[in-house]
Amino acid sequence: MKRCLAVLSVMLIASILIVTLSFASTTVFSAPTINAESETQFDFTGSKLQFKLADPETQFNVSIAYAYVGEDPTNASYAAANGALMSPVSQYPSSVVVSSTRLQGAQIASCNAEVEVYKVQLKTESGEVENHCYFIGTNYNPSFSSSELSSLFEYVKYLSVSSGSIAVTGNFKFNLTENTPILSHPIGSVGCYCYSNNASIAENNVGLWRAGIPNSISVTVRRIGYITISNDSVIIYKDAPNNSATATEKLSNYGNGFLYNNLVPVAKLAQTDLFRPSP
């Protein structure tokens, strides 16, 4: 089981970035701490970075393929290698799968590679919210290297932290073919743990059930920015806060949870791990 360690206080100060590459197994990076001076300025290797305003154009079509929120009986505490007790971030975790398709002829800028970053937000009718982050990217220059890719990922974390995300999951595929859909791994709080001595988490680890059993849950995907790299020069473009939603869906009651499903055949749902679905 993959475990995503999230360390939270009043706001998210650190998260795990799970990166799925086309040529490697899962890699984990630590997120930076946010600089409180400004929401658009961050401390990076001793210097300040200024975000630029993003253009509305996009190179990907992103849609919601699946979402489930509910009780997970297997989501139990465990002892880490250092002996610390780890507790689930939520006893009612979430799992969202999005489908991303590179649009034909779309290229945001003249660059070697580009990554688009999206906030994935689940919200109840009472206003309880859970935020996560997803990114999708590809290269334009065939000679784009893995070392340049590592530099690009360093900057993904700045957008994810500013969005208040619990977990960050993404895909970067080399030479991604146009009009080819890619399904994300589950995005959400499923598999996310925190130190059990974190009181703010221990008191609120019922997730979207904090105000009681929800009557309804919706999921919204909204782009928060994109990042380009060219000749080792990285530029971060941040979308306006009122940027329109890329996709939104309402979950329906399903068993002891809430489900939106455009991925798993109905006949297979009863045999499916609802938090880790496959087509």
User: Per-residue pLDDT tens for 17-43?
Assistant: 334 443 332 323 333 322 222 334 344
- Judged by average pLDDT, the poorest of 12-26, 112-126, 254-268 is 12-26
> Rounded mean pLDDT of the chain?
77
- Written as one string, the DSSP assignment of 105-157 is T--SSSSSEEEEEEEEEEEETT--EEEEEEEEEEESSTT--HHHHHHHHHHHH
Task: Report DSSP letters for 204-265, one per residue.
Answer: TTTGGGTTSS-S-EEEEEEEEEEEEEETTEEEEEE--TTPPPSEEEEEEEETTEEEEESSS-
C-alpha–C-alpha distance, residues 149 and 170, integer Å: 13
CA separation, residue 276 to residues 18, 75, 89 (Å): 16, 13, 17
Q: Give the confidence band of 253 by pLDDT, cuts at 50, 70, 90.
A: very high
Distance (Å, whole) CA 168 – CA 158? 11
If 0-12 CB within 10 Å is exposed, 13-18 middle and 19+ buried, where does residue 174 land? Answer: middle
Measuring CA to CA, which residue among 271, 260, 70, 278 is closest to residue 185? 278
Position 106 scores a pLDDT of 62
Quick check: 249 pLDDT over 50?
yes
10-14, 169-173, 178-182, 241-245: least confidently modelled range = 10-14
Amino acid 148: pLDDT:
79
* Statement: residue 49 has pLDDT above 70: no
The answer, yes or no, to whether residue 47 has pLDDT greater than 70, is no
What's the pLDDT at 50? 56
The count of other CB atoms within 10 Å of the CB of residue 163 is 20
- The token pair at 5 is 């360690």
More confident residue, 215 or 191: 215
Is pTM beyond 0.85? Reply is: no
Given the DSSP bridges, would you call strands 78-79 and 129-139 parallel, antiparallel or unpaired? unpaired
The answer to whether residues 206 and 128 touch, using CB atoms and an 8 Å cutoff, is no
Smallest CA-to-CA distance from 13 within 177, 198, 142 is with 198
How far, in Å, CA of 162 to CA of 21, rounded?
24
Residue 247 has pLDDT above 60, yes or no: yes
pLDDT at 1: 47
pLDDT tens digits, residue range 200-239? 555 567 889 989 999 999 999 999 999 888 876 788 888 8
**pLDDT score recorded for residue 95:** 96
Give the least confident one: 26-30, 84-88, 138-142, 270-274: 26-30
Cβ neighbours, 10 Å, residue 276: 15
Q: Which residue has the higher pLDDT, 78 or 256?
A: 256
pLDDT at 78: 79
3-state secondary structure (DSSP) of residue 19: strand
What's the pLDDT tens digit per position in 125-178?
999 999 999 999 998 888 888 777 877 777 887 787 766 777 888 888 988 888
**Chain centroid to CA 269:** 24
